[in-house]
Structure 1
């Protein structure tokens, strides 16, 4: 009796083909481009890969499959390849990275620790916090069923928590196989941003540190060197570098929004990041002016920091998400995932009984 052919979901098939293409591209970079002298010549050799990555995620329609793929390939992956062209960044090392490590670092939101350190108290807390955050995200998703009865301010707060928990958990899940395969210690991807005591602390030391680690060498340091030559070693030289970094981050978020919505950008999310860039630059200048002579209590500064992020997020970050129905599609996908898991579990229970 012949078996029925296994039907593969088109989205999963597209995802598989995209990532196989990305892996082959990184093998090319490791085996061929790495042998070319750094600079313009190596940049020309990796340009086909840099041009290849942006159209790949256009084949995906799922928020939870497309979102990470866009982030990993179009943003992080291409920025890492640009640095690699000039013998900088995480893909350039002495001695050269092994192939598996090169591919993992190039395609995934991970950064290996240069000097592994003894486990700190925060490291011990992470295995405990991870299931708690998973449970909290599940509660938030369950509350969406009652959105029509919830106050808009509460929905905004739920969206803020959802973005934080969702991004951190996806990045953490992605890092698990890489950590197991490579057998190395990885840098944290988030550092409890709700404990931030300033915008500089929030964006520079706690929120999505994978983005921070790639924007520093690609945008912040080059612009700071240029502004220092022009303005000298003053606090004013920092402002252009900070503003340029936040501007690039805003533009890359516009790209991600376009992929997920296919709608023309309205530049609100760029405005969100530019506003925060201006505030961070002002905060840095103020800190240099007053030194350590005056400082708010961390309970006050922390509340103001998180509150400012939430309020400006409701004003500028989320409108493009809600206007284009990205939030509704993401919530519906959670329901589909839950049904799929329930059906699989039920099928397995029946087959084993």
Structure 2
């Protein structure tokens, strides 16, 4: 993989994060809030199923369009993830009285809106304390992200493999920090412990462990009832339980790949190359094969986690470097993100120092 060398002026990428962009962000959410109110006060009164889905269709469509009003990496990305991805899938489930939005009786509007828009899931174990909820750990990850961003100044002198590792660290720390910060309003509203968005993915022992139990857990919690379960139930009669499970996993990764393709389009505004979709389809087949292999040798032979874990992480990074990073690099998304970090640091320095 060729390392991307920035051709942008020092602050040009950061100029996306300006007063006009924050004004557009306010416009986006000014449009989104009435749509959420419509879903709560009107669509919820319509019988579940196709009638309610049709009533929600305008909301689903507009949620897909709203992120197109934003250009900055750190404002467009979360908005697209919360509305176009999680929000739309939560509403699709809600149309059939499923998912986190549905309860009987319906919760307050504030609870409904927070559940719809924020990356939160109330923990079933209220006394549970997770590493991810530790503010000291979160502050440490903020510090590590700052170090990674600073190291980007020297990437032209680094081996491409090391630069790729910096990109992966940037991706992990950046997403986890943003999701943790964005979940704070939900914690204030609900006053209940939330399940973590991440559970130390670098400790994964397999692909199944990584994708199902450690990485960006809001996504599998939504895709499982929206894609995996329906696919498995529908195909089990024709293909049997084992093949239905396989098809459910692959279908889930296909949908995830398509949604990532959409998110990448919001970032780049470039025609899709389908590399990202291929990445997730590949991992869908590999994870399904891994699950089948585990079932076949259960009780006979087990790979020690100290071996399977590093193999899984190396496979993840190698395939991401092959199929995911190139699109972000050649379209300047990495430079845009770095520029916005420096613009933010410059702003804070001017205000407080």
TM-score interval, normalised by the smaller of the two chains: over 0.9
Q: Displacement, 1:123? A: 4.1
Question: Which residue in 2 is equivalent to 1:322?
Answer: 329
Separation in structure 2 between the aligned mates of residue 126 and residue 250 of structure 1, nearest angstrom: 31
Separation in structure 1 between the aligned mates of residue 203 and residue 300 of structure 2, nearest angstrom: 22
Q: Displacement, 1:23? A: 1.5
State the Cα deviation string for residues 215-271 of structure 1 (Å, max 9, x = none): 1011100000112111122x2221111111001111111101111101011111111
Question: Which residue in 2 is equivalent to 1:266?
Answer: 273
State the Cα deviation string for residues 129-174 of structure 1 (Å, max 9, x = none): 1111111000000001111111110000011111111111100000
Q: Displacement, 1:127? A: 2.5
Choose the corresponding residue for 1:185, options 193, 211, 215.
193
Bigger drift between 123-132 and 59-68 goes to 123-132
Is the contact between residue 132 and residue 198 of structure 2 (CA under 8 Å) also seen in structure 1? no
Question: Which residue in 2 is equivalent to 1:102?
Answer: 112
Question: Which residue in 1 is equivalent to 2:122?
Answer: 112
Q: Residues 286 and 216 of structure 1: is their aligned pair in 2 closer, same or farther, counting only changes over 3 Å?
A: same
Separation in structure 2 between the aligned mates of residue 18 and residue 182 of structure 1, nearest angstrom: 24
Choose the corresponding residue for 2:78, options 45, 61, 68.
68
- SS of residue matched to 1:207: coil
Q: Displacement, 1:37? A: 1.1
State the Cα deviation string for residues 195-231 of structure 1 (Å, max 9, x = none): 0000000000100000111110111000001121111
Aligned positions, number:
336
Choose the corresponding residue for 1:11, options 15, 21, 29.
21
Question: Which residue in 2 is equivalent to 1:85?
Answer: 95
- SS of residue matched to 1:162: helix
TM-score w.r.t. the length of structure 2 is 0.93
Is the contact between residue 132 and residue 199 of structure 2 (CA under 8 Å) also seen in structure 1? no
Question: Which residue in 1 is equivalent to 2:349?
Answer: 342
Q: Displacement, 1:292? A: 2.8
1:1-353 equivalences under 5 Å are 9-113=19-123, 115-120=124-129, 122-123=130-131, 126-233=134-241, 235-346=242-353
RMSD over equivalenced CA pairs, Å: 1.3
TM-score w.r.t. the length of structure 1 is 0.93
Q: Displacement, 1:41? A: 1.3
Q: Residues 211 and 67 of structure 1: is their aligned pair in 2 closer, same or farther, counting only changes over 3 Å?
A: same
State the Cα deviation string for residues 29-59 of structure 1 (Å, max 9, x = none): 1111111111111111111111111111111
Question: Which residue in 1 is equivalent to 2:5?
Answer: none
Separation in structure 2 between the aligned mates of residue 70 and residue 125 of structure 1, nearest angstrom: 24
Instruction: List runs of 5+ in structure 2 lacking aligned partners.
Output: 1-17
Q: Residues 236 and 294 of structure 1: is their aligned pair in 2 closer, same or farther, counting only changes over 3 Å?
A: same
* Displaced runs of 4 or more, over 3 A: 122-125
Is the contact between residue 132 and residue 196 of structure 2 (CA under 8 Å) also seen in structure 1? no
- SS of residue matched to 1:245: helix
Q: Displacement, 1:125? A: 7.0
Larger Rg: 1
Separation in structure 2 between the aligned mates of residue 226 and residue 263 of structure 1, nearest angstrom: 36
State the Cα deviation string for residues 260-311 of structure 1 (Å, max 9, x = none): 1010111111111111111101001001101132111111111111111111
- Which gives a bigger RCO, structure 1 or 2 (Cα 8 Å, sep 6+)? 2
Separation in structure 2 between the aligned mates of residue 173 and residue 59 of structure 1, nearest angstrom: 22
Separation in structure 1 between the aligned mates of residue 348 and residue 29 of structure 2, nearest angstrom: 24
